[in-house]
């Protein structure tokens, strides 16, 4: 399975630190999951809080192995920017998809599932299902 191509995961947050930390967390909880391409796209290009379309496009291109790219976002402009890029065409790799999932839990579920060599539909289903886990 090691030569199998994995779904790429992009984590879009208003904060560079949050995006990078959630990427580390998800890979760590997935037992390393070194075969899964995961890229954070956090904050603005200037290093502030916000969303950068350029960073998102670059992150998506960097994790594209030709079998789909799953994007997870935190809120507000992160969601709207990814949606606008998807609507544009040509800005994100073929098969890129915004997942309707909680950011942290969805990222863990997506990376763990992608590590098994699952396809994009299966990765998406796992991430979306994270919403159904009740905490109280």
Partner 1 sequence: MLDADFFRRWLTATAASVNREAERLTALDSAIGDADHGSNMQRGFTAVLAALEEEAPDTPGAVLTLAGRRLISTVGGASGPLYGTLLRRAGKALGETPEVSEKQLAEALRAGVDGVMALGGAAPGDKTMIDALVPAVDALADGFAAARAAAEGGAVATTPLQARKGRASYLGERSIGHQDPGATSSALLIAGLAEAAAGSSGE
What does DSSP assign to residue 134? -
35 or 79: CB nearest partner 1: 79
> Do 85 and 24 meet the contact criterion of CB atoms below 8 Å apart?
no
Q: How far is the CB of 132 from partner 1 (least distance, A)?
A: 22
66 or 75: CB nearest partner 1: 75
54 or 121: CB nearest partner 1: 54
What does DSSP assign to residue 39? E
51 or 113: CB nearest partner 1: 51
- Binding segment for partner 1 (CB under 8 A), chosen from 3-11, 15-23, 34-42, 85-93, is 85-93
Measure the CA angle with vertex 35, ends 31 and 41; round to 5°: 90
- Given CA atoms 41, 100, 64, 86 in this order, what sign does their dihedral have? negative
**Residue 32 in the binding site for partner 1 (CB under 8 A):** no
| Site size for partner 1 (CB under 8 A) | 17
Q: How far apart are CA 88 and CA 90, in angstroms?
A: 7
Q: Is 40 helix (H, G, I), strand (E, B) or coil?
A: strand
Q: How far is the CB of 44 from partner 1 (least distance, A)?
A: 5
């Amino acid at each position: 399975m090691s030569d199998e191509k994995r779904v790429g995961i992009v984590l879009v947050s208003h904060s560079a630190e949050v995006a990078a930390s959630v990427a580390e967390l998800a890979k760590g909880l997935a037992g390393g999951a070194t075969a899964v391409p995961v890229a954070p796209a956090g904050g603005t290009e200037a290093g502030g809080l916000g969303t950068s379309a350029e960073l998102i496009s670059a992150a998506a291109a960097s994790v594209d192995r030709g079998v789909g790219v799953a994007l997870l976002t935190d809120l507000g402009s992160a969601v709207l920017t990814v949606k606008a890029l998807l609507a544009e065409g040509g800005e994100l790799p073929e098969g890129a998809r915004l997942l309707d999932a909680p950011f942290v839990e969805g990222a863990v579920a997506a990376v763990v599932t992608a590590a098994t060599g699952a396809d994009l539909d299966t990765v998406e289903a796992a991430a979306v299902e994270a919403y159904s886990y009740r905490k109280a």
